[in-house]
């Protein structure tokens, strides 16, 4: 897992470089169709990356995006009109049975289908009209890291192809390099969390998907019960679980979500919670009990990929401190097939 976390800058560079021309061609194809709606279908970490994609596309393109509930198709056999939709399947392996079932149904209803996968010869790649590849190499650890960030960078390119404003996502690999330099701090920090059995993870907006992804990493690699929330939703009830020394992890970028993050940190401090902020903002870093501080010149729109890297490192080192093999968590396998 640690090796694959460290491979992310190169994997991201390869993915951007290798797929750029395909997205230019896709942009022309999309312009020829009346795409009024995007539906994304995924599970697990891929679904968390898709949650980021939803925010990015809706904000930058103004196109409504739905995160598909596969059971609507696989269990209930619903016939959904997707004739003006772009349906995007996201899967590391490309072998998720339910994801592929939805793609087949979407094609039958007239949708344009797109696959984002790490496996060029997968079943998903054979089904979709368009195939975009993550150039991460084989991912051996059960916990997805480099394929998660690879999926996220695809959403930057897809948003641009859908007419969103161009973003300098070519800068992301260097920001990830900077995030990797936090590993020494994180390896020392995990000793304070070695006995942690529960926590909350919070984010909002473009980093909301990261709150889901970090909580998943903590559950699958460290066996920690990690609840995830929007930092806004947390005030609507879940705040009641906070007591002295309760661990709370927050993604705190600059931008529109900053004010709410500072208000939440102030309330958590009042309740004597132990807070950890993953941030590139000075005020947010100062308000938290502990800060994993990234360089402060990262645009909010470019923070989600570099921000998840300290979270990945935290989960991997915490698992090691707990004596757990993060590469082979109990009861789990790399490819999960559900229907």
Crossing angle between the packed helical segments 146-161 and 8-31, to the nearest 10 degrees: 30
Query: Where is 309: in which H helix or E strand?
Result: helix 304-321
* Residues in the chain, total: 339
The span from the CA of 276 to the CA of 253, in Å, is 13
Closest by Cα among 103, 83, 84 to 42? 103
Which domains are assigned to the chain? Answer: 2-167 (3.40.50.10490), 173-321 (3.40.50.10490)
User: For residues 153, 159, 161 and 164, what is the CA-based torsion angle, rounded to 10 degrees?
Assistant: -130
How many Cα atoms occupy the beta-carbon half-sphere of 215 within 13 Å? 25
Sheet (strand 290-293) strand order: 225-230, 198-203, 247-252, 274-279, 290-293
211 neighbors 228 (Cβ within 8 angstroms): yes
Q: Residue 101 is encoded by which pair of tokens?
A: 């079932």
The predicted structure's pLDDT at residue 337: 57
pLDDT of 323 reads: 95
Mean pLDDT of 191-201: 96
Confidence at residue 230, expressed as pLDDT on a 0 to 100 scale: 87
The per-residue pLDDT for 267 is 93
pLDDT tens string 294-325: 988 799 999 999 999 999 999 999 999 999 99
- Residue 79 scores a pLDDT above 80: yes
pLDDT at 227 over 90: yes
pTM listed for this prediction: 0.95
Mean pLDDT of the chain: 94
85-113 tens-digit pLDDT: 999 999 999 999 999 999 999 999 999 99
Q: What is the pLDDT of residue 296?
A: 83
Asked whether residue 222 carries a pLDDT value surpassing 90, the answer given is yes
């Amino acid at each position: 897992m640690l090796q694959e976390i460290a491979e992310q800058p190169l994997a991201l560079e390869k993915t951007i470089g290798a797929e750029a021309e395909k997205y230019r061609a896709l942009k022309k194809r999309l312009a020829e169709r009346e795409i009024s709606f995007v539906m994304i279908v995924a599970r697990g970490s891929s679904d968390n990356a898709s949650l980021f994609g939803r925010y990015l596309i809706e904000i930058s393109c103004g196109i409504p995006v739905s995160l598909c509930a596969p059971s609507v198709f696989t269990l209930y056999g619903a016939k959904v009109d997707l004739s003006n939709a772009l349906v995007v399947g996201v899967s590391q392996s490309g072998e998720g049975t339910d994801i592929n079932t939805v793609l087949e149904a979407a094609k039958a209803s007239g949708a344009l289908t797109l696959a984002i996968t790490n496996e060029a010869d997968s079943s998903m790649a054979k089904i979709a009209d368009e195939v975009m590849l993550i150039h991460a190499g084989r991912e051996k650890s059960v916990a997805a890291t480099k394929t998660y960030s690879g999926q996220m960078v695809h959403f930057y390119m897809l948003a641009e192809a859908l007419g969103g404003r161009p973003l300098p996502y070519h800068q992301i690999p260097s920001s990830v390099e900077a995030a990797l330099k936090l590993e020494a701090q994180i390896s020392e920090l995990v000793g304070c969390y070695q006995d942690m059995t529960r926590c909350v993870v919070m984010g909002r907006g473009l980093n909301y998907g990261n709150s889901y992804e970090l909580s998943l990493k903590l559950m699958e690699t460290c066996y920690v019960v990690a609840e995830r929330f929007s930092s806004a939703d947390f005030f609507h009830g879940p705040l009641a679980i906070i007591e002295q020394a309760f661990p709370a992890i927050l993604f705190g970028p600059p931008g529109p979500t900053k004010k709410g993050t500072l208000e939440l940190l102030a309330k958590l401090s009042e309740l004597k919670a132990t807070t950890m902020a993953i941030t590139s903002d000075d005020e947010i870093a100062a308000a938290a009990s502990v800060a994993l501080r990234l360089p402060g010149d990262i645009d909010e729109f470019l923070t989600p990929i570099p921000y998840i890297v300290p979270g990945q490192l935290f989960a991997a080192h915490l698992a090691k401190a707990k004596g757990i093999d993060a590469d082979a968590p109990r009861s789990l396998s790399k490819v999960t097939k559900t229907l």
